[in-house]
Amino acid sequence: MKTKKVKGTIGILTGGGDVPGLNPAIRAITIRALREGYRVLGIRRGWAGLMEVIRDPEADNHDNYRELTEDLVNKAGRTGGTFLHTSRTRPSHVPARHVPLHLKDLYNDQINDLTPEVLKNIDFLGIDFLIPIGGDDTLSYSVRMYQEGIKVVAIPKTMDNDVPGTDYCIGFSTCITRTIHMTNLLRTSAGSHERILVMEVFGRYAGFTALLPTMAGAANRCVIPEHVFSIERLCELLIEDRMNNPSKYSVVLVSEGATFEGVDMMFQNTEKDMYGHAKLGGIGDAVSARIKELSPGFNRGQRVETINQHLGYLVRSGDPDAIDSIVPMAYGNLALDLVLKGIHGRLVILKNGRYDNIPVDIVTSTKKLVDVSKHYNTDRLRPVYESFIDKPLFLVG
């Protein structure tokens, strides 16, 4: 009996925050790759799995990678999160405490570049093509891998939808859908108590996750990282919205990276990840507190209470919606199209309603932010939308 010759090995990893749609992407890549005659390795915990491999055939590396089968990915493909697990590991900037035990004698600086180990591990595993799925942080290291000679085909993923070069990143639609849904749920409490509803949503540098739900009617106002707003003006507008609402409530969505005059970006603590980011949190609390404090000045001397809700992981957990089930499937197949043609150093994208691919180094060469002059009214603190002709699906690509 002849054994079918394997064409090559494809490695898949997911890095950064989890979002719905990752498992459908892994499923699409794996099933197509297996049927085309490739072996597929799932790298566990993002770049950490590739960094921590022990290059010994007898070593136990089950925490670092696993061989993927059609049965395995079919079971996971309809679920949220990533069954390969994830981390915010950056092998080029590894603190001493995170250096793998078997490498501590070789790397003992305060910050260490373990890229040489990653390259050796890729060779040890026999990976011919690497498909990383992640946001701009995870994909920035993909650019480094490509520059080092690794055949990379990248897939954009992030709820913030801020990976440059593409109109859409996996996870964004589910995030927007959940934000709208949960805002509508909380309206009943806001209306019952005649309060102002303040909801903090994700968005470190880009305000798409606040702008789009507001555009869809989920909120009266939104504040985004791209514009430093006046808290007094926000309070005035929300009181006005509340007075004009028969149910006597109003709603504002606050991006986690938003700032108002006199207040900088707010963090939960000073600890930073390997990409230099401290965990954001607290701007919603600050906005809520200041609105209560300022409200008598715009409400005939009467204070207005608030409901302060941080959506957090509620918008990134659970199953993907329809778009985050379909787009990952398409992205996975786009990646395999490139692999089969021997093309690498590319990022698969959606642009103007069409699937395509572009050079992966777009990730590190520019930023994707809300164009305030086109899409945000800085006086009214809400989206601007007039003509929709020739606009992308999500309007602010």
Could you tell me if 224 and 255 are in contact, meaning their C-beta atoms sit under 8 angstroms apart?
A: yes
Q: Half-sphere exposure of 73 toward its Cβ, with a 13 Å CA cutoff?
A: 25
The single residue of 18, 128, 137, 160 carrying the catalytic annotation is: 160
Q: What's the one-letter identity of residue 3?
A: T
Active site (annotated) includes residue 160: yes
Separation CA 228–CA 226 (nearest Å): 7
Separation CA 201–CA 259 (nearest Å): 13
CA dist list (Å): 54 to 45, 51, 58: 15, 9, 9
H/E stretch holding 241 reads: helix 231-244
Could you tell me if 129 and 312 are in contact, meaning their C-beta atoms sit under 8 angstroms apart?
A: no
Residue 390 has a CB neighbour count (10 Å cut-off) of: 6
Q: What's the one-letter identity of residue 286?
A: A
Could you tell me if 332 and 32 are in contact, meaning their C-beta atoms sit under 8 angstroms apart?
A: yes
Residue 216 has a CB neighbour count (10 Å cut-off) of: 15
Among 339, 17, 384, which Cα is nearest to 215's?
384
Residue 185 has a CB neighbour count (10 Å cut-off) of: 10
Q: What's the one-letter identity of residue 36?
A: E
Could you tell me if 221 and 177 are in contact, meaning their C-beta atoms sit under 8 angstroms apart?
A: no
Residues with a catalytic annotation lie at 160
